[in-house]
Structures are given as structure tokens and as C-alpha cells.
Structure 1
Amino acid sequence: MRPPVGKPPLLISLAALPVLTQPPSASASLEASVKLTCTLSSEHSSYYIYWYEQQQPGKAPRYLMRVNSDGSHSRGDGIPSRFSGSSSGADRYLTISNIQSEDEADYYCGLFSEYLHCHFIMKHKRPPSSVEHSKGNIRSPS
């Protein structure tokens, strides 16, 4: 079957899609600091990413900030200054200083592909064993 005249077939190489990776988990004590990492595939290392937090499964994630490849960042409305972003090569970081009990959450990184006009989000399901948050530990998704 031939494509309609004037409508070239859409071909997308899966190898060209961005890949995001995060370590399975991180923990820190109250009032300490933690640095979470999101790594882009090397061919997409110039992309900016977004950080989100989800405090309870089933609730909408909250937008935290955008982190650019040059390390600059812009926080979302109402996000405290103890949340900051930075960058090194293909790595994008979210640093939370002076951790508070309300920071206990799953943290996600994501990006928007202008080429494909869609979002890619690193979404990890929290395993049952990680629900022991009684000491105010903070964990990235695992």
C-alpha cells in the first residue's frame, strides 16, 4: 500500500528517543541535604529537564523546577529556595537543603521533546518495602 500523495510516511527511530535514568533511591535525615541525579542519554545531554515530586501515590505530581544544560534553573511558583538545580555533562541534579518532613516524596525527572511534541517522564513505582518513612527520610523513586 502506498502512502497518499503529498503525505510522506512518518518514520521515527527509537534510537533517537531520549533516555532518562535515575538511581533507585536516596535517603537523608531531617535538616540534612540530598542531591538527586537524573542522567540523560549522551546524545541528548544538551536538553533541559523538569523535576517533580509526588508526596502520595495517586495524587498529582507537583512541578518543582526546570534545570538547563548550563546548570541554571528556574523554580515553580511557591517552591522554596532550599530546592535548587544544577548540571554537569548529561547529569541534572535536584538538591534539597535543610530537608523537612514534608519533603518525603517520590521525585521524578522528565523532559519535553520539541521534535516529537511529547513528554518523557521517569516514573518509578515505589516498592512496598520503601514505605517505612517514619524517620522523615526522603527517597527518590525506585
Structure 2
Amino acid sequence: MNFNLLRNNFLAGSQWLQNTVRYASKKTGGSTQNTSTKVRPKHRGWKVQDGWWVPSGTILVLQRTLRFHPGLNAGLGKNGTIFAITSGRVRITCEKADLNWDHSWVQRCHGHRKGVDFYKKYFNVIPDPQHQNFKLIDQI
């Protein structure tokens, strides 16, 4: 059999191959070796120092775990933020921890310390002294 004849018959029978279209495609990308290092910082920690005057509602500390505890006239937010309940001067003290062991944050952060004495920093807000000038309106 002639090779040219065989070749022509084979190519003539495969006319459908000339009509197929192959579109461009992209392979799946793999993970990169070095990821971006431009992560925005969270700026957690103390927001006010000892002796500063703060209005009510001011954030005193941002924290992820209970490193610091709220003292007098200070509250603990649901995300661990300590804030001032009243306006006044901030006083930071180191005291023996007297905790509410039923609180979920205390169980999560200090559950392994139950029954052991330890000291933590407390943020207290001492309110401004009230005036002492009063007028006598009525006598009983």
C-alpha cells in the first residue's frame, strides 16, 4: 500500500479536527511562599496613663485576654475593653486578684489559677470631688 494514499485518506477522514476550537485557560494557582507582611496593627494595650483625667466612656485598655482588670468606676466590655464609667482621675494599682469565677472571661483566662493567690493590675477611676457649697432652703 502506498504511504501517500494512506496519509491522504487519514487526513481527509479527520476534517472534524480542523473545526474544533481550544480556548485559553489558566491553571489553578498554588499558594505563595511569602505572604503579605502589610498587616494593620491592632494597637492594643494601655490607652491612658496613671494620673490622667478622663471623661466617662473613655477606653482605658484594649486587650484580648484579661491582663488588666476593671477596678472602681471602671467597666469590662464584651470584647475585653476596660472603660471609664464616671469621669475622674485614672489610678492603676497592683492588687491581689479577687475575681468572679462564674464570669466566662475569668474562666477562660484564669481558670487554671483557681485557688492560687496572684496579683493583677487594676484600672480605677477616682471621681472628681463634689462641691461643698450648699444653701439652706428649709428648716424642719
TM-score by length of 2: 0.29
Asked which structure has the greater RCO (Cα within 8 Å, sep 6+), the reply is 1
**Richer in helix (by share):** 2
TM-score (normalised: structure 1): 0.28
Give the number of the structure whose alpha-carbon radius of gyration is greater: 2
**Which structure has greater strand proportion?**
1
